[in-house]
Homo-oligomer: A and B are copies of this chain.
């Protein structure tokens, strides 16, 4: 039987295991029974506001708070599709997304009242405090979720091309959760620490897994390094999602301590990770699972299985059970160790971008999604992600991958953080430029010497720029495009 519908997830979960812990934040705790009640009672308030709306989409701008989790579920219960607005965007960017999705209402955390002060007219803005002060009206709770219905929309991070709304169906989230469980396992005592943004797929997918698995989410409002390290050492938490920058900060703060043996998975996504960091984690006994995924795949699609976490260090692993992967180059499907574009397929992959016929035609081909990223598979089928395509530097006809150079730079004593971008060169087309956050007493000569030891000539940075910090997006991904733009606009300068 091909299944079109499943029981309403939160309702079913609250029926099956009402007393199991669903959500904690500091000392605050909610069971699945309580989460269900919150979703319904807030849903009834929201219903008063949107019951005459003809818009299928509802905007939501949130921080990582328990109220945001209630809202996510309330909107699902009302049957609307949630458009998750990135709270770091500028007014222009937000306006674009709101118009692009044709939103009629945006619900927002009171903290964003200023940022959204431009709302009004055709687009109603409703703050949390307005919403929570509204009289409730009853609505009919659906017994089932339709798997092909759009559950959420997220705009791609903007590190590549023009922003596009990614439609994520209930089915996409379901299969993502199931695919992850078949790789990482599920135990009754799992707790997933969420300090990644709830408005990104990394955070939102934790909420979906929580309901499907019956698993506790330990929510952090900010990336509180010390507090999170204490959690990981306490044994309260078994799994955490990070990107490499977060992991690096955790490792620095960790010192000589070790994490609790119950902590079983540090899920590391958000782009290729520097090898020195992975090696440090290995030495400290931190169970890192590298993973590869994106908004379009409703989070992970390729993850390293536990038995290979050490022997295949640096690899993102193999596809999750329901998914597939191939590498394509000019000659067709690439052979082992040949690099090319990463293509993915599976029931967690989006059906497409909202109203982007051209991009959809370009990105999807017989069920395969063209990620635009570059990588290769080794003889055993393990994926190694080399870079995000848009960041690829082509220098004198040679492909240069910023992540590889960054990895080398980070292994240099005195380098705190490093980003590499391609800058225009009359001679070579592009050359790599290194942007370095340094500790005391590091000179450019030190870096050059280190690179000469570790990199082929064409890969060595032709410029080195010291900066105070590197541009990163809300999920801490390095924005190499912004580095390049800052350079081109003269906002960062070579002090030589």
Contacts and interface: CB of A to CB of B under 8 A. Distances in A.
Contact of A212 (B4, B182, B188, B351): B182
Nearest to A172: B1
A408 B181 CA distance: 42
Interface string A130-155: 00000000000000000110000000
B381 A188 contact: no
Contacts of A2: 2-4, 147-148, 171
B307 A351 contact: no
Interface in A1-57: 1-4, 6-7, 12-13, 15-17, 19-20
Contacts of A323: 7
Contacts of A213: 182
A232 to B, nearest CB: 20
B171 A182 contact: no
Nearest to A9: B321
Size band of the interface chain A makes with B: 35 or more
A186 B185 contact: yes
A447 interface: no
A302 to B, nearest CB: 11
B7 A321 contact: yes
Contacts of A163: none
A349 interface: yes
Interface of A: 1-4, 6-7, 12-13, 15-17, 19-20, 147-148, 169, 171-172, 175, 178, 181-182, 185-188, 212-214, 305-307, 318-319, 321-324, 347, 349, 351, 381
Across the A-B interface, give the 5 residue pairs with the lowest CB-CB distance, nearest first: A3-B347, A185-B186, A185-B187, A1-B171, A2-B148
